[in-house]
């Protein structure tokens, strides 16, 4: 499995979850020095820039699936997240890698199964007003993934807290289920990894919370 965004909190926990479950993990990062030393030889590291289409394609070509933990809420401003995601999606299609797990937000687009609650409406207004760059990039990231001919799943959450967590309490859709505003990074990562073998949310975007 190849993980993009392994140098942010959720991405690191995705890799740790893969290791714990016995997967062969590969990460694509621009700075290997940002990765935990404890991973050692258990994780194959591919160094490159998201703007390098050839480098991204090389990392994707050896994968059975891709977990894309790139997220403008988690990454530094100016990172080429949208361009990088476009490169990795194109590489997946070129090399026949079908399973894509990504991150998203209920605040940037309505799932067809969802009805906007007052809390969700407020988050959308605030995100557009206070963080227009984040809002724009998140919309573009989700459109890039869901518009491709892939077996995609987008794991959506409004906010994340650091730490391992104690298990997700809610998985579903606003307006139907009691989805809250926060989910622990470890729980988001664990759910994302379970989706690699779980077909219930293929071409779906469940929201999660603690």
pLDDT tens digit sequence for 155-205: 999 999 999 989 999 999 988 888 999 999 999 999 999 999 999 999 999
Calculate what percentage of the chain has a pLDDT beyond 90: 82
Counting the structural domains of the chain, the total is 1
| Alpha-carbon span 8 to 71, nearest angstrom | 9
CA-to-CA dists, residue 118 to 83, 104, 126, 207, 208, angstroms: 33, 19, 12, 16, 17
Which residue segment(s) compose the domain that 67 sits in? 2-209
CATH number for the domain spanning 191: value is 3.40.50.720
Looking at residues 42-62, what average pLDDT do you find? 95
| Alpha-carbon span 194 to 162, nearest angstrom | 20
Phi/psi of residue 74, each to 5°?
A: -110, -25
Question: Is pTM, for the whole model, over 0.85?
Answer: yes
Cβ neighbours of residue 175 closer than 8 Å, sequence gap 6 or more: 114, 115, 116, 117
Q: What is the per-residue pLDDT for 110?
A: 65
88 touches 27 (CB < 8 A)? no
Which residue has better confidence, 98 or 78? 98
For the chain, what is the mean pLDDT? 93
Cβ neighbours of residue 121 closer than 8 Å, sequence gap 6 or more: none
């Amino acid at each position: 499995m190849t993980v993009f965004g392994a140098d942010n909190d959720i991405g690191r926990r995705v890799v740790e979850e893969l290791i714990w479950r016995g997967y062969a993990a590969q990460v694509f990062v621009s700075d290997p020095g940002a990765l935990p030393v404890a991973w050692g030889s258990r994780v194959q590291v591919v160094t490159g820039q998201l703007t390098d289409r050839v480098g991204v394609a090389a990392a994707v070509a050896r994968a059975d699936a891709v977990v894309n933990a790139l997220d403008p809420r988690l990454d530094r401003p100016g990172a080429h997240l949208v361009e990088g995601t476009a490169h990795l999606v194109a590489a997946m299609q070129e090399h026949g890698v079908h399973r894509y797990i990504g991150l998203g937000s209920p605040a940037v687009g309505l799932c067809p199964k969802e009805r906007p609650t007052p809390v969700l409406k407020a988050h959308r207004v605030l995100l557009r007003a206070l963080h227009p760059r984040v809002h724009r990039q998140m919309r573009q990231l989700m459109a890039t993934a869901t518009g491709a001919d892939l077996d995609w799943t987008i794991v959506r959450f409004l906010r994340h807290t650091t730490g391992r967590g104690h298990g997700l309490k809610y998985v579903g859709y606003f307006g139907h289920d009691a989805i809250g505003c926060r989910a622990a990074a470890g729980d988001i990562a664990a759910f994302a990894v379970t989706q690699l073998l779980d077909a219930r949310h293929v071409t779906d975007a469940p929201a999660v919370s603690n």
